[in-house]
Amino acid sequence: MQVLQVQLEVGPDPAEVGRARRWARSRLAGSGIGDDEPLAETLVLLISELVTNAVVHTGCPAVLRMLFGAGAAEAGTVRVEVADSCARPPRPRHADGDDTNGRGLELVDGLADRWGWRPEGAGKSIWCEVDRCVAPRSPAPGGVAVGPGVPAAMVPGAYSA
Protein backbone atom coordinates (compact mmCIF):
# COMPACT_ATOMS: atom_id res chain seq x y z
CA MET A 1 0.00 0.00 0.00
CA GLN A 2 1.31 3.43 -0.89
CA VAL A 3 1.38 6.06 1.82
CA LEU A 4 1.33 9.80 1.28
CA GLN A 5 3.19 11.75 3.96
CA VAL A 6 3.00 15.51 4.40
CA GLN A 7 4.84 17.45 7.06
CA LEU A 8 5.13 20.90 8.59
CA GLU A 9 7.93 22.32 10.69
CA VAL A 10 6.56 24.01 13.80
CA GLY A 11 8.47 26.63 15.75
CA PRO A 12 8.67 26.70 19.56
CA ASP A 13 5.95 29.35 19.86
CA PRO A 14 2.37 28.67 21.06
CA ALA A 15 1.08 30.76 18.11
CA GLU A 16 2.33 27.94 15.87
CA VAL A 17 -0.51 25.71 17.09
CA GLY A 18 -3.07 27.75 15.14
CA ARG A 19 -0.88 27.65 12.04
CA ALA A 20 -0.61 23.86 12.40
CA ARG A 21 -4.41 23.55 12.61
CA ARG A 22 -4.91 25.67 9.46
CA TRP A 23 -2.24 23.69 7.60
CA ALA A 24 -3.80 20.40 8.69
CA ARG A 25 -7.27 21.45 7.51
CA SER A 26 -5.92 22.31 4.06
CA ARG A 27 -4.05 18.99 3.81
CA LEU A 28 -7.08 17.03 4.96
CA ALA A 29 -9.23 18.74 2.32
CA GLY A 30 -6.56 17.94 -0.28
CA SER A 31 -6.72 14.28 0.70
CA GLY A 32 -10.49 14.16 0.19
CA ILE A 33 -11.51 14.48 3.84
CA GLY A 34 -14.10 17.26 3.96
CA ASP A 35 -13.75 20.05 6.50
CA ASP A 36 -17.27 19.32 7.76
CA GLU A 37 -16.63 15.61 8.35
CA PRO A 38 -16.36 14.44 11.96
CA LEU A 39 -13.07 12.76 11.01
CA ALA A 40 -11.57 16.13 10.07
CA GLU A 41 -12.67 17.71 13.35
CA THR A 42 -11.24 14.79 15.32
CA LEU A 43 -7.91 14.92 13.49
CA VAL A 44 -7.58 18.69 13.87
CA LEU A 45 -8.26 18.40 17.60
CA LEU A 46 -5.68 15.61 17.95
CA ILE A 47 -3.13 17.69 16.02
CA SER A 48 -3.85 20.70 18.19
CA GLU A 49 -3.25 18.69 21.36
CA LEU A 50 -0.05 17.00 20.17
CA VAL A 51 1.48 20.19 18.75
CA THR A 52 0.53 22.11 21.90
CA ASN A 53 2.21 19.48 24.05
CA ALA A 54 5.38 19.62 21.95
CA VAL A 55 5.58 23.41 21.96
CA VAL A 56 4.57 24.04 25.57
CA HIS A 57 6.27 21.15 27.34
CA THR A 58 9.55 21.01 25.41
CA GLY A 59 10.15 24.57 24.23
CA CYS A 60 11.70 22.99 21.11
CA PRO A 61 10.75 23.13 17.44
CA ALA A 62 8.74 20.15 16.23
CA VAL A 63 7.72 18.44 13.02
CA LEU A 64 4.07 17.59 12.39
CA ARG A 65 3.47 14.72 9.97
CA MET A 66 0.25 13.29 8.57
CA LEU A 67 0.25 10.00 6.72
CA PHE A 68 -2.57 8.92 4.40
CA GLY A 69 -3.09 5.87 2.19
CA ALA A 70 -2.48 7.39 -1.26
CA GLY A 71 -5.61 7.48 -3.40
CA ALA A 72 -7.72 5.94 -0.64
CA ALA A 73 -8.91 8.88 1.44
CA GLU A 74 -12.25 7.20 2.02
CA ALA A 75 -10.67 4.10 3.58
CA GLY A 76 -7.80 3.20 5.82
CA THR A 77 -6.05 4.96 8.63
CA VAL A 78 -4.82 8.52 9.07
CA ARG A 79 -1.70 8.73 11.21
CA VAL A 80 -0.55 11.92 12.92
CA GLU A 81 2.97 12.22 14.32
CA VAL A 82 4.63 15.09 16.15
CA ALA A 83 8.39 14.75 16.57
CA ASP A 84 10.53 16.99 18.76
CA SER A 85 14.12 17.04 19.94
CA CYS A 86 13.33 16.43 23.62
CA ALA A 87 14.02 12.82 24.66
CA ARG A 88 11.81 13.08 27.78
CA PRO A 89 8.85 10.68 27.34
CA PRO A 90 5.31 12.05 27.43
CA ARG A 91 3.78 11.97 30.88
CA PRO A 92 0.02 11.60 30.92
CA ARG A 93 -1.58 13.60 33.72
CA HIS A 94 -5.05 13.59 35.17
CA ALA A 95 -6.75 16.95 35.45
CA ASP A 96 -9.15 17.65 38.27
CA GLY A 97 -12.40 19.60 37.88
CA ASP A 98 -11.22 23.21 37.58
CA ASP A 99 -7.71 22.53 36.23
CA THR A 100 -7.03 24.45 33.04
CA ASN A 101 -4.52 21.97 31.63
CA GLY A 102 -3.47 18.35 31.96
CA ARG A 103 -6.14 16.85 29.72
CA GLY A 104 -4.23 16.64 26.43
CA LEU A 105 -3.10 13.02 26.43
CA GLU A 106 -6.39 11.92 28.03
CA LEU A 107 -8.14 13.54 25.09
CA VAL A 108 -5.79 11.84 22.62
CA ASP A 109 -6.43 8.51 24.34
CA GLY A 110 -10.19 9.03 24.08
CA LEU A 111 -10.29 10.21 20.46
CA ALA A 112 -7.63 8.15 18.71
CA ASP A 113 -8.00 4.49 17.87
CA ARG A 114 -4.36 4.02 18.87
CA TRP A 115 -1.57 6.22 20.17
CA GLY A 116 1.92 5.93 21.55
CA TRP A 117 5.42 7.29 21.35
CA ARG A 118 8.85 6.15 20.27
CA PRO A 119 12.38 7.50 20.38
CA GLU A 120 13.32 9.36 17.21
CA GLY A 121 16.86 10.61 16.74
CA ALA A 122 17.87 12.53 19.85
CA GLY A 123 14.20 13.15 20.69
CA LYS A 124 10.87 11.41 20.36
CA SER A 125 7.79 11.11 18.20
CA ILE A 126 4.29 10.96 19.64
CA TRP A 127 1.80 9.43 17.22
CA CYS A 128 -1.88 8.62 16.99
CA GLU A 129 -4.03 6.87 14.44
CA VAL A 130 -7.68 7.25 13.51
CA ASP A 131 -9.33 4.61 11.36
CA ARG A 132 -11.64 5.79 8.64
CA CYS A 133 -14.63 3.60 7.80
CA VAL A 134 -15.87 3.02 4.27
CA ALA A 135 -19.47 2.51 5.38
CA PRO A 136 -21.31 3.70 8.46
CA ARG A 137 -20.82 1.44 11.45
CA SER A 138 -23.74 -0.30 13.06
CA PRO A 139 -25.50 1.49 15.87
CA ALA A 140 -23.62 1.48 19.13
CA PRO A 141 -25.26 0.44 22.38
CA GLY A 142 -28.00 2.92 23.16
CA GLY A 143 -28.90 3.35 19.47
CA VAL A 144 -26.33 6.01 18.60
CA ALA A 145 -24.95 5.39 15.11
CA VAL A 146 -21.22 5.82 14.74
CA GLY A 147 -20.54 7.36 11.33
CA PRO A 148 -17.48 7.18 9.11
CA GLY A 149 -14.40 8.45 10.83
CA VAL A 150 -16.02 8.85 14.23
CA PRO A 151 -14.03 6.86 16.78
CA ALA A 152 -16.21 4.58 18.88
CA ALA A 153 -14.64 6.21 21.94
CA MET A 154 -16.71 9.32 21.18
CA VAL A 155 -19.98 7.42 21.61
CA PRO A 156 -21.15 6.77 25.16
CA GLY A 157 -21.24 3.05 25.83
CA ALA A 158 -19.46 2.11 22.60
CA TYR A 159 -16.31 0.08 22.60
CA SER A 160 -13.73 -0.98 20.08
CA ALA A 161 -12.15 -4.39 19.79
28 is a domain residue: yes
Most confident of 62-66, 90-94, 104-108, 152-156: 62-66
Let me know: does 10 contact 48? Beta carbons within 8 Å.
Answer: no
160 is a domain residue: no
65 is a domain residue: yes
159 is a domain residue: no
Residue 95's pLDDT is what? Answer: 64
Residue 121 dihedral angles phi and psi, to the nearest 5°: 60, -130
Number of domains in the chain: 1
Single out the residue of 127, 110, 121 nearest to residue 54, CA to CA: 127
Return all residues near 47 (Cβ < 8 A) that are at least 6 apart. Answer: 20, 21, 24, 64, 66, 80, 82
Q: Which domain holds residue 108?
A: 3-154
Which CATH number goes with the domain that contains 121? Answer: 3.30.565.10
73 is a domain residue: yes
What is this structure's pTM? 0.76
pLDDT at 58 > cutoff 70 = yes
